[in-house]
């Protein structure tokens, strides 16, 4: 296929696995981030080069999620290693002019974010860093000097600190006639084939890699093509392919998944009230699908060109390449002809492929992970210690090295603050008024309009994958609190709607099981709520405590603490008083807690149902049998012994101890 210039485009993220041992050089790191690339609707399947170079020869993280499924907050999550609630602007209220504060509520121009992102992290570790393509939705040509940005050329535009090469897109939504911040100087492109945005970004990337690859100093390349994002958020609502790939998909149609063009009437109103797509909307959605795939063909070329250059320069064996997306996308699911913004798998699950020295080929990691883990992973690959930094995520390097941590999260938090009404309409009806609603009886044109974001689409959700199942738990909240702002912290607020999906039996999320499932599995969903609300207010190390549900204890202190943390006030505790709902089976003292002899101690549990009591007492009994070297035939009876004891206890007449709340009241 003819191309006017050598083309380089990549999808996702590229990084290199760190080499252990004294004099070995640090790995080069390449991060390729796609824009709006789905995983659920086929992901990387249509792209042979990505499949070959990263899928077949790398490791696939199959349960990889985003915290906030919209561009700017999600990119901030990746760039800083922090969840969305730690990147929010001070005022969560629309401005007088009708616009949002920050970048979709994310504060990406404030001093803290500007000075704590991948560029500064890796610069301090000795890397030369280059960024190519889309940085954030706010113009990359206007980084404020007062926040710590610096001028790379006299009188030019400032760029964030930590970057040695900066070629960032200044405008969004166009594939030709773009403006870029080229090391502080504004440069513009035209409408010729070589001006196609992915080609421009790719060729600037390759030129820089050709200079830095093989140098003594390791490099980090952040490659962020705009594909497959819409060419513009208005008519005709399609992506633009490179001229040499236009029409390459023929008459392909968007995947007809089981929930395609099926409004979920049991979901929150934004989704429940979706009109079914008519023939006009279906034709438009299919055209969007074809243009998305065709735009990604150039990205597939870029991946090949990057790997070819790394091979020619002799650095491929010391380079890790990682590919992911800022969020997913829907094309007809729940009758949404396009879009993101929502809590479902199409929106929150993204591809994550990584290849490099020491990384298993063709492997699959099912650990619950996401964009918040990218920054700590790159820091560790670069020789840093992410545990000493205030990052919310955790490094994935142990999984790449084949040594997964003993404890890892089984919940990923999803947080979203509504952007207000976001509408899409069929191309032939741009004059229609979406405010009329979705009632086709009122106006024919409303059938072509679909609201993708809007009222009460502010939510907090938990994506759980663990021994007890595969669930999504979501709470939706009013868009305004009493102060007039969007809610920051959700605990204590009353949701206006809730949804639960069992993805093992309902992978396309078509049947809302709330509240029946919550009543059937009270222990699980109480724990999920507890972890979720803790993660919604966590920061840094407290996120790693909150995300491990077995180590989440609520009381006046708010959680568990690291015993090695000599600065924490828990070390000043001299005595402790425990309140209990029941004593150990059989009652009496024991050698495990000898202080019980001198005081009346009670231990409180938030819920003492049969499952919890079985887990607690069976664990204690198994430990006792192991510690005292009981024969195997005796140790194997622990579960039956606990069951029998609990049956006797429950069937014994007499008063029952009151189960206390989490604060012992």
Phi, psi of 531 (to 5 degrees): -65, -40
3-class secondary structure, 101: coil
Q: What is the dihedral of CA 514, 517, 521, 526, to 10 degrees?
A: -10
* CB distance 556 to 580 below 8 Å: no
Helices (runs of H) and strands (runs of E) counted in the chain: 16, 20
Q: Indicate which residue of 71, 141, 149, 538 is catalytic.
A: 71
End-to-end Cα spacing for the chain: 73
User: Mind giving me the DSSP string for 461-524?
Assistant: EEEEEETTEEEEEEEEE-S--TTSSPPS--TTSPPSEEEEEETTT-TT--S--TTHHHHHSHHH
DSSP letter for 300, please. Answer: H
Please state, as a whole number, how many other Cβ atoms lie within 10 Å of the Cβ of residue 409. 25
> Rounded distance, CA 281 to CA 260, Å?
13
Phi, psi of 366 (to 5 degrees): -100, 5
Which residues, other chains included, contact 58 with Cβ-Cβ below 8 Å and sequence gap of 6+?
321, 353, 354, 355, 356, 359, 361
Phi, psi of 298 (to 5 degrees): -70, -35
* CB distance 104 to 75 below 8 Å: no
Q: What is the dihedral of CA 112, 113, 115, 119, to 10 degrees?
A: 160
Query: Which tokens belong to 5?
Result: 């210039």
CA-nearest of 118, 106, 114 to 79 is 118
Query: Which tokens belong to 557?
Result: 């202190």
71 carries an active-site annotation: yes
How many CA atoms lie less than 13 Å away from 640 in the CB half-sphere? 5
Catalytic residues: 71
């Amino acid at each position: 296929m003819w191309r006017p210039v050598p083309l380089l485009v990549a999808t996702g993220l590229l990084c290199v696995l760190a080499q252990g041992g004294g004099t070995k050089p640090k790995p080069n790191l390449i991060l390729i981030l796609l824009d709006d690339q789905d995983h659920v609707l086929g992901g990387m399947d249509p792209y042979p080069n990505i499949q070959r170079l990263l899928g077949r020869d790398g490791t696939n993280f199959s349960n990889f999620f985003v915290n906030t499924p919209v561009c700017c907050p999600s990119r901030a999550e990746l760039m800083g290693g922090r969840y969305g609630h730690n990147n929010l602007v001070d005022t969560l209220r629309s401005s007088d002019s009708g616009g949002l504060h920050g970048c979709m509520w994310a504060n990406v121009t404030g001093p803290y974010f500007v000075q704590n992102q991948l560029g500064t992290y890796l610069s301090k570790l000795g890397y030369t860093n280059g960024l190519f393509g889309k940085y954030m939705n706010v113009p990359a040509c206007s980084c404020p000097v007062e926040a710590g940005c610096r001028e790379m050329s006299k009188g030019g535009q400032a760029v964030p600190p930590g970057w040695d090469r900066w070629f960032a897109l200044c405008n969004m939504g166009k594939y030709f006639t773009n403006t870029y911040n080229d090391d502080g100087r504004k440069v513009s492109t035209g409408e010729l084939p070589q001006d196609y945005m992915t080609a421009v970004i790719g060729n600037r990337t390759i030129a820089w890699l050709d200079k830095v690859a093989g140098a003594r100093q390791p490099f980090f390349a952040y490659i962020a093509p705009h594909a497959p994002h819409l060419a513009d958020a208005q008519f005709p609502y399609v992506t633009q392919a490179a001229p040499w790939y236009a029409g390459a998909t023929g008459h392909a149609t968007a995947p007809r998944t089981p929930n395609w063009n099926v409004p979920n009437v049991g979901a929150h109103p934004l989704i429940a009230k979706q009109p079914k797509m008519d023939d006009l909307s279906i034709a438009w959605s299919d055209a969007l699908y074809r243009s998305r795939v065709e735009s990604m063909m150039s990205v597939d070329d870029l991946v090949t060109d990057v790997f070819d250059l790394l091979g020619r320069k002799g650095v491929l064996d010391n380079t890790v390449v990682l590919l992911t997306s800022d969020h997913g996308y829907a094309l007809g699911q729940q009758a949404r002809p396009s879009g993101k913004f929502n809590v479902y798998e199409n929106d929150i699950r993204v591809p994550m492929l990584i290849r490099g020295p020491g990384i298993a080929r063709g492997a699959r990691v099912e650990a619950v992970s996401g964009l918040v883990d990218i920054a700590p992973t790159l820091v560790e690959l670069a020789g840093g210690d992410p545990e000493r930094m205030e990052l919310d995520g955790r490094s994935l390097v142990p999984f790449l090295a084949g040594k997964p941590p003993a404890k890892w999260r089984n919940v990923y938090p999803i947080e979203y603050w509504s952007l207000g009404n976001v509408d899409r309409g069929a191309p032939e009806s741009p004059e229609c008024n979406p405010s009329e609603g979705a009632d086709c009886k009122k106006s024919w044109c409303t059938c072509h309009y679909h609201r993708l974001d809007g009222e009460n689409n502010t939510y907090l959700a938990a994506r759980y994958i663990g021994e007890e199942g595969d669930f999504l738990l979501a709470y939706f909240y009013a868009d305004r609190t009493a102060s007039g702002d969007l809610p920051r912290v959700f605990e204590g607020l009353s949701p206006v709607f809730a949804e639960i999906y069992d993805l093992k039996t309902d992978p396309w999320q078509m049947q809302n099981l709330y509240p029946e499932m919550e009543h059937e599995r009270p222990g699980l969903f109480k724990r999920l709520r507890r972890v979720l609300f803790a993660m919604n207010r966590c920061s840094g190390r407290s996120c790693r405590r909150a995300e491990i549900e077995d180590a989440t204890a609520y009381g006046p202190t708010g959680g568990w603490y690291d015993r090695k943390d000599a600065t924490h006030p828990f070390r000043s505790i001299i005595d402790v008083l425990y309140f209990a709902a029941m004593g150990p089976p059989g009652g009496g003292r024991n050698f495990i807690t000898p202080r019980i002899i001198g005081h009346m101690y009670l231990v409180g549990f938030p819920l003492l149902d049969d499952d919890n009591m079985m887990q607690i007492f069976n664990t204690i009994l198994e430990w006792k049998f192991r510690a005292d070297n009981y024969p195997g035939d005796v140790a194997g009876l622990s579960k039956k012994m606990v069951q029998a004891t609990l049956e006797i206890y429950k069937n014994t007449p007499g008063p029952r101890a009151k189960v206390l709340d989490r604060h012992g009241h």
